[in-house]
């Protein structure tokens, strides 16, 4: 019989643990496979770990890796992937926004021979307009870097053992699961789902933390910002050339070019451009520094199962 591993990152999800467990049990009534339910407690400060231990007492298919502090969802996902034992792995959120019933469809696709079955969001759920614009821009850049359309992709995926083994081997610290699961290749397909409302609790993402996440992942996967700097640099040189030629013509026509405001404008634009460029390069250097230090992506404090 096949064994499915379910990896569930949780950060302060105490009220969602049991409903999710029940939903999973129901799903596996209809699938001819066994499962292990691997919760990754990402340094929760509420009763998440206690809830998981309770479940484990009655059902040893429930397992848990608990971090020594909050390391973030990416770290939780990779900790899960590195510790699964199933023939394939499904990664899903704890808050029931990723409908567990979809596992049935993912499973049958996997049985057909697909190694990566991706959950595609039909709608993006409720989001603000600014958030929408920002995410679209972000995904356009990442899609360009990975060469695959990622606009509606999500972290809800089924991965064959061969895929999780490859992902587990990656040594980078700043991981971006959604793009890396494309990057590794393998035979892919997708299934669609509607994003449900959060079952309980609040989203852990503020606009600020999403921005930071986006910038980090952009730097991880795309060199486009660095290319943009070069293009802006070339544009500045062209503008300068244009102005130079104009000044030369004015000189020969004995009419002086409008001086001071132009110079102030160019200085400010040039200086601003330099600072922005330095900032962008700085972000890349910080990422390199982060990777070079080779600190672990997460620290496991306790384990169940
Ligand atoms: N999560 C996590 N660590 C974090 C933040 C979130 O493990 O630092 C988990 C969270 O418990 C949930 C999933 O990641 O299972 C998605 O988080 P959330 O629902 O807050 O994000 P959203 O659905 O709003 O994108
Ligand atoms: Mg959620």
Q: What is the DSSP letter of 189?
A: E
Ligand 1 in reach of 76 Cβ (< 6 A): yes
Do 133 and 251 have their domain in common? no
Which regions of the chain does DSSP assign to beta strands (E)? 2-10, 33-41, 62-67, 88-91, 116-121, 153-160, 188-193, 300-304
Q: Are residues 170 and 65 in the same domain?
A: yes
In a domain? residue 217: no
Bridge-based pairing of strands 33-41 and 116-121 is unpaired
The CATH number linked to 160 is: 3.90.550.10
- Return the pLDDT at 176: 87
Residue 270 pairs in a beta bridge with none
Q: What average pLDDT does the chain have?
A: 86
Yes or no: say if 50 and 301 are a contact pair by the CB < 8 Å rule: no
In terms of domains, do 125 and 65 share one?
A: yes
Q: Is the pLDDT of residue 146 over 70?
A: no
- CB of 105 within 8 A of CB of 97? no
DSSP secondary-structure letter at 197?
A: P
How close is the Cα of 171 to the center of ligand 1, in Å? 23
**Is 127's pLDDT higher than 70?**
no
Q: How far is the CA of 10 from the centre of ligand 2 (A)?
A: 10
Regarding whether 167 and 250 lie in a shared domain, the answer is no
Whether ligand 1 lies within 6 angstroms of the CB of 72 is answered as: yes
Residue 296 has pLDDT above 60, yes or no: yes
For residues 59 and 304, is the Cβ–Cβ distance under 8 A?
Answer: no
Predicted TM-score (pTM) above 0.85: no
- Of the CA atoms within 13 Å of residue 50, those in its CB half-sphere come to 6
pLDDT band at residue 208 under the 50/70/90 scheme: confident
Domain region containing 138: 3-202+297-304
What number does the ligand 1 atom closest to the CA of 97 have?
A: 23
Query: Domain total for the chain?
Result: 2
Q: Is 103 exposed, middle or buried (0-12, 13-18, 19+ CB in 10 A)?
A: buried
Is 12 part of a structural domain of the chain? yes
Instruction: Report the pLDDT averaged over residues 216-236.
Output: 83
pLDDT of residue 256: 61
Tens of pLDDT, residues 87-114: 999 999 999 989 999 999 999 999 999 9
pLDDT band at 9 (very low <50, low <70, confident <90, very high): very high
Using the predicted structure, report yes or no on whether residue 10 has a pLDDT greater than 90. Answer: yes
Atom of ligand 1 nearest to the CA of 203: 20
Q: Is 257 contained in some domain?
A: yes
**41: which DSSP letter?**
E
Cα of 212 to ligand 2 centre, how many Å?
Answer: 18
Instruction: Check residue 258 and give its pLDDT.
Output: 62
How far apart, in whole angstroms, are the C-alpha atoms of residue 137 and residue 150?
11
Radius of gyration of the chain (CA): 25
Q: How far is the CA of 10 from the centre of ligand 1 (A)?
A: 7
Determine the distance separating the centroid of ligand 1 and the alpha carbon of 72, expressed in angstroms. Answer: 8
| Residues 245 and 193 both lie in one domain | no
**14 and 122 in one domain?**
yes
Mean per-residue pLDDT, 38-63: 94
Residue 209: nearest ligand to its CA? 1
State the maximum Cα–Cα separation within the chain, in Å, rounded to a whole number.
93
Q: Is residue 262 part of a domain?
A: yes
Q: Is residue 218 part of a domain?
A: no
Q: Is 291 exposed, middle or buried (0-12, 13-18, 19+ CB in 10 A)?
A: middle
pLDDT digits (tens, 9 = 90+) for 249-294: 877 777 665 677 677 777 877 888 888 888 888 889 988 998 899 8
Do residues 17 and 165 both lie within one domain? yes
Binned at pLDDT 50, 70 and 90, residue 220 comes out as: confident
**C-beta of 73 in contact with ligand 1 (< 6 A):** yes
Report yes or no on 149 lying in a domain.
Answer: yes
């Amino acid at each position: 019989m096949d064994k499915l591993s379910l990896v569930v990152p949780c950060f302060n999800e105490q009220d969602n643990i049991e409903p999710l467990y029940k939903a999973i049990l129901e799903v596996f009534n209809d699938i001819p496979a066994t499962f292990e339910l691997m919760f990754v407690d990402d340094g929760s400060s509420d009763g998440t770990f206690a809830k998981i231990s309770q479940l484990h007492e009655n059902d040893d298919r429930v397992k848990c890796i608990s971090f020594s502090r909050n390391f973030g969802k990416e770290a939780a996902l990779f900790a899960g992937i590195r510790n699964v034992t199933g023939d394939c792995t499904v990664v899903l959120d704890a808050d029931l926004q990723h409908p567990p019933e979809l596992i049935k469809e993912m499973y049958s696709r996997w049985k057909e021979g697909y190694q990566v079955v991706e959950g595609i969001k039909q709608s993006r759920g409720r989001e603000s307009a600014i958030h929408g614009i920002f995410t679209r821009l972000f995904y356009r850049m990442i899609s360009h870097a990975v060469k695959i359309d990622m606009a509606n992709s999500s972290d809800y995926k089924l991965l064959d053992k061969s895929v999780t083994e490859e992902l587990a081997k990656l040594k980078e610290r700043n991981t971006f699961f959604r793009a890396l699961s494309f990057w590794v290749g393998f035979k892919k397909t997708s299934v669609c789902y509607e994003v449900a409302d959060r079952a309980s609790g609040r989203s852990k993402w503020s606009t600020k933390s999403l921005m930071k996440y986006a910038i980090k992942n952009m730097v991880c996967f795309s060199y486009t910002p660095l290319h943009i700097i070069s293009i802006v640099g070339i544009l500045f040189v062209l503008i300068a050339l244009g102005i130079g030629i104009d000044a030369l013509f004015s000189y020969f026509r004995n009419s002086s070019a409008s001086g001071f405001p132009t110079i102030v404008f160019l200085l400010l634009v040039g200086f601003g451009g330099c600072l922005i460029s330095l900032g962008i390069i700085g972000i890349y250097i910080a990422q390199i520094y982060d990777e070079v230090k080779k600190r672990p992506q997460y620290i496991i404090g306790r384990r169940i199962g």
